[in-house]
Amino acid sequence: MACSRKLLQSSTHFRPIPLSVRNSLRRSIHLNAPFSPKDLTGLTTDLLKSYFDKGLIEEAHSLFDEMHHRDVIAWTAMVTGYVSCNQYTRAWNMFSNMLKDGVNPNAFTVSSVLKACKGLKALSRGELVHGLAIKIGTQGSSIYVDNALVGMYATCCDSMDNARLVFEDIVSKNAVSWTTLITGYTHRRDSFGGLRVFRQMFMEEGELSPFSFSIAVSACAAIGSSNLGVVAHLRQNKYSVK
């Protein structure tokens, strides 16, 4: 019941737990009444997210260790939480332990651990996760996984070829898809490459974002093209992107 007690003690400091659930927890503690592990796992996972939101990494880790029933959502909360706190090695280790525990990842798990691989610049690990994404069917069916793959390859590879291949396979590209690829080029100081993607985005009427325009204008400045910068600015006004 240590996990239940921590939930009650911490509920006043984080997102409120519904009164009916709190009463059920109290009954399970004081009367030793049965409480559904599934319900408790959901509550604990919510508290894990709150810990990470507050930057309380060790508290989240301790609470997770006390959980008797860990489903994919709980494991994913830990992987995602570590990534959000830039603890990429711990995120990877958590993902590895999840697989060893026989829990199958979902699209959110895969996209999060790909961000960890990107943060570690660990191409070989990213390729392993890519293979897993293909095996379980999350690549091509989840835009989060697709975008994370583009970002991972754009950061970890010597060229943009793999990132570009994954990008071209995305059926419904969103603003993050375009921006991730453009950013990959500009971070390599390949302003021309970034502008080519920016031009393609307009030709395909891709989803736009203010960040995409900002990167494009910076790329124009980097290559000393005021004309292209003016065009980007005019198109920004045309599409009413603020």
The tens-digit pLDDT sequence of the chain (242 residues) is 444 444 444 444 444 444 444 555 555 555 555 545 455 677 788 888 888 988 999 999 998 998 888 999 999 999 999 999 999 999 999 999 999 999 999 999 999 999 999 999 999 999 999 999 999 999 999 999 999 999 999 999 999 999 999 999 999 999 899 989 988 998 888 878 878 888 888 778 767 666 666 766 666 566 555 445 445 554 555 544 44
Q: How far apart are CA 74 and CA 130, in angstroms?
A: 22
For residue 240, tell me if it sits in a domain.
yes
The CB density around residue 90, as the number of other CB atoms within 10 Å, is 18
For residue 221, tell me if it sits in a domain.
yes
For residue 136, tell me if it sits in a domain.
no
User: What's the structural domain count of the chain?
Assistant: 1
Reduced to 3 states (helix: H, G, I; strand: E, B; else coil), residue 6 is helix
Residue ranges making up the domain that contains 211 = 173-242
pTM, two decimals, is: 0.77
For residue 139, tell me if it sits in a domain.
no
For residue 121, tell me if it sits in a domain.
no
Spatial contact of 16 and 45, defined as CB atoms under 8 Å apart: no
For residue 71, tell me if it sits in a domain.
no
For residue 105, tell me if it sits in a domain.
no
For residue 223, tell me if it sits in a domain.
yes
